[in-house]
Amino acid sequence: MNILIIGATSAIAKATARIYAERRQDLFLIARSEDRLKQLSADLTVRGAESVGYSVLDLNKFNEQEKAIDQAIGFLGTIDVVLICHGSLPNQQEAEISFRLAQKEINTNGLSVISLLTLLAEKLILQGNGTIAVITSVAGDRGRQTNFVYGAAKSMVSTYLQGLRGKLFPFNVAVVDIRPGLVDSPMTAHLKKGALWSSPDRVAGKIVRSIEKRKPTVYAPGYWRAIMLIVRLVPEFIFKRLKF
């Protein structure tokens, strides 16, 4: 298979890429740090990847996204699977009083993803097959006091994916919404860890299995489906008093 990974140097993306490398797949990586891309490419090659290419891109430069995607197609020929895996975790207190910061985070976690999806959908329609998988978050299931700027961006992407899934169904293109819970990664290094936390490797395994099965919406690990069902069912007059 030919795999395109966008946001390839994130912890979850790297763990997923390593699984594909060990299966001797062809990979193309997109991220903003060339040094980290070079290191990851070398690692994936050692692990067995058939070939590895990469492109350096700040994903908030929307007008440069198509060039990078075209480079991926030029390297891979066709795209069987694309995984979009970039994002940032804002300081909620700062973002809720600064629209400039909130806009920056919504651009990174929301609009940059929708821009990519717009481009990729057209490419895969022309192919007549493929799978688009996107890392969103359980934070998008319901707006909570502690992270509603981040959650709003992720919710926007999940809603977009739901509509896109129907749009692409006649063209044999699957759309997979992957909603991780708490993951121990550099992005969450400042947060206290507990029993519900998972590793990037565990989430990566779930991602690969879900892509193979073309599942529409996936919670990673699976116990987050039950947790978020309970969260969604809490009445609003109680929920608005919960500080979590």
| Full residue range of the structural domain in which residue 79 is found | 2-239
**Contact of 69 with 55, CB cutoff 8 Å:** no
Q: How far apart are CA 140 and CA 161, in angstroms?
A: 12
Q: Is residue 209 part of a domain?
A: yes
> Does residue 96 lie within any of the structural domains?
yes
What pLDDT is attached to residue 71?
A: 97
* DSSP state at residue 191: S
Q: What is the pLDDT of residue 99?
A: 96
Distance of alpha carbon 14 from alpha carbon 96, whole angstroms: 31
Give the per-residue pLDDT at 153.
97
pLDDT at 178: 98
170, 192, 203, 207, 219 from 196: Cα distances, Å: 38, 11, 13, 18, 13
The pLDDT, as a whole number, for residue 192 is 74
User: What is the pLDDT, as a whole number, of residue 244?
Assistant: 80
What residue ranges in 48-162 does DSSP mark as E strands? 51-56, 81-84, 130-135
Domain count, the chain: 1
- Integer angstrom CA distances of residue 77 from 3, 74, 118, 132, 142: 11, 6, 20, 16, 40
pLDDT for the residue 194:
73
The answer to whether the predicted template modeling score (pTM) of the entire model surpasses 0.85 is yes
Per-residue pLDDT of the chain (244 residues; tens, 9 = 90+): 999 999 999 999 999 999 999 999 999 999 999 999 999 999 999 999 999 999 999 999 999 999 999 999 999 999 999 999 999 988 999 999 999 999 999 999 999 999 999 999 999 999 999 999 999 999 999 999 999 999 999 999 999 999 999 999 999 999 999 999 888 777 776 777 777 888 999 999 999 999 999 999 999 999 999 999 999 999 999 998 888 8
Q: Is residue 154 part of a domain?
A: yes
Q: What is the CATH number of the domain that holds 210?
A: 3.40.50.720
Does residue 244 sit within a domain?
no
CA 188 to chain centre: 15
Contacts of 43 (CB under 8 A, 6+ apart): 18, 21
